[in-house]
Structure 1
């Protein structure tokens, strides 16, 4: 009988060690391999429910981005481009085929940049609560201010404020498990990596021009109460990508996979079986 369990592993790539959690397929040759990419400043543990509930014919891998969770920082100079190139090297080192990228927030930025760099390796995209725009000047300044506050006051005030921003009202009142996943992720990440990632997000490139070049099936997801991604940003994905499906999660904020995991899992499994 197929055992639904995850295994922890790590791989050395250039200057870093990447930690990842894998749920193997029951098949010798999986139909697809789904790589789950976490948001800022989280880690792979936010995807545990998705790995456990993934279609048994597919392999699921959730990675810790450089400097997050149990992955090492390396040189410490972060960018979305660096994160994407780390991912491409991981795909190559593990000899993965039929890869689908599933990214939430920052993970979506990484997924889009990875597709831009190496589209022949990617067979599908799941983009949750993310977009293709770069930060405007106001957005950049907010990140710079956040770095200064982190350096002055530490992670705890940042964590508390962040949680109030990312979750829906229902999650904040009824889902302490989801809240603890995020709190523990922020506690684990060191201050230098959190600040370096803020700079990476502020410096990221605009990828809206490449959306029309995406030819693989794409699922776009958004929580109805997401305060960080607006309708204009979501509509740019829906208008720019040719083969796209959109699902809104009524009871979610920025992290539907934690806030409505059962529905999220149903949607991604249905999407993955469709091609």
Structure 2
């Protein structure tokens, strides 16, 4: 699957994988804020943005292999692989399937634990609802922190627009892929590369406890808590997010 992508800057390649149910559009602040330090590559995962959905069964491994194919197409042997939320799941799958191609990993507002049976069943109900004409706007208050809900009307409007742009078939496919993902703690324990774990202070979907568990599992890891940010820290507080990533890259 040849993914569409947007990029900016030059230097060390940094691939940023978007959250659900967004597209590479969510990384505008990172393409602008990190381009002076690295080559920021932001793919549209299959079915989202400009990428086709294809006919593969839903799987994080399929999404990770899509990213490897993108790197092949760009002639990139190794890259920093980063992801937020769902993008973090894909990043961990990439580390498992293509470990020799990862220079370092950034895991933002995500978790290594698999879905509980209840969470997986809830994802399937949501997939069926969306395929039947429902939408995801009811999830927006959970995606951002109280600070954004109260004080960042423009950010909230942007998140709403991105959610509403998500194609139903891609939404259902991604939900089923997330529900089927495996436990990734062994993947983290096996890492031989530096890892940066980021979490919004106000993230209730993948809270600090999940971030700490990932940091403890990965041998060479560093945890940064981003103040006044919820689950979408890259969108809510892009300056703080970029500062943490830039400092991490400077040590590579």
Higher CA-based Rg:
1
Please, which of 220, 223, 230 is the counterpart of residue 200 of structure 2?
223
Query: Are the counterparts in 1 of residues 212 and 223 from structure 2 also a CA contact under 8 Å?
Result: no
Query: Are the counterparts in 2 of residues 84 and 114 from structure 1 also a CA contact under 8 Å?
Result: yes
Please give the secondary structure, in 1, of the residue aligned with 2:4.
strand
Partner residue, 1:10: none
1:273/1:144 CA distance change after superposition, 3 Å: same
Partner residue, 1:177: 154
- Mapped partners of 2:43, 2:200: distance in 1: 23
Give the deviation of 1:250 after TM superposition.
Answer: 2.1
- Mapped partners of 2:38, 2:18: distance in 1: 19
- Mapped partners of 2:154, 2:104: distance in 1: 30
Q: What is the root-mean-square deviation of aligned Cα atoms in Å? A: 1.5
Q: Does residue 249 of structure 1 match 2:197?
A: no
Q: Any unmatched runs of 5+ in structure 1? A: 1-12
Give the deviation of 1:233 after TM superposition.
Answer: 2.2
Query: Are the counterparts in 2 of residues 214 and 241 from structure 1 also a CA contact under 8 Å?
Result: yes
Q: Does residue 101 of structure 1 match 2:101?
A: no
Query: Are the counterparts in 1 of residues 61 and 97 from structure 2 also a CA contact under 8 Å?
Result: no
Partner residue, 1:20: 5
Q: Any unmatched runs of 5+ in structure 2? A: none
- Mapped partners of 2:132, 2:53: distance in 1: 22
Please, which of 116, 128, 139 is the counterpart of residue 148 of structure 1?
128
- Mapped partners of 1:76, 1:176: distance in 2: 38
Give the deviation of 1:54 after TM superposition.
Answer: 0.9
> When the two structures are aligned, how many residues end up with a matched partner?
252
- What is the TM-score when the length of structure 2 is the normalising length? 0.95
Query: Are the counterparts in 2 of residues 33 and 97 from structure 1 also a CA contact under 8 Å?
Result: no
Give the deviation of 1:145 after TM superposition.
Answer: 2.1
- Mapped partners of 2:191, 2:34: distance in 1: 24
Query: Are the counterparts in 2 of residues 76 and 196 from structure 1 also a CA contact under 8 Å?
Result: no
1:235/1:165 CA distance change after superposition, 3 Å: same
Provide runs of 4+ in structure 1 moved above 3 Å. Answer: none
- What is the TM-score when the length of structure 1 is the normalising length? 0.87
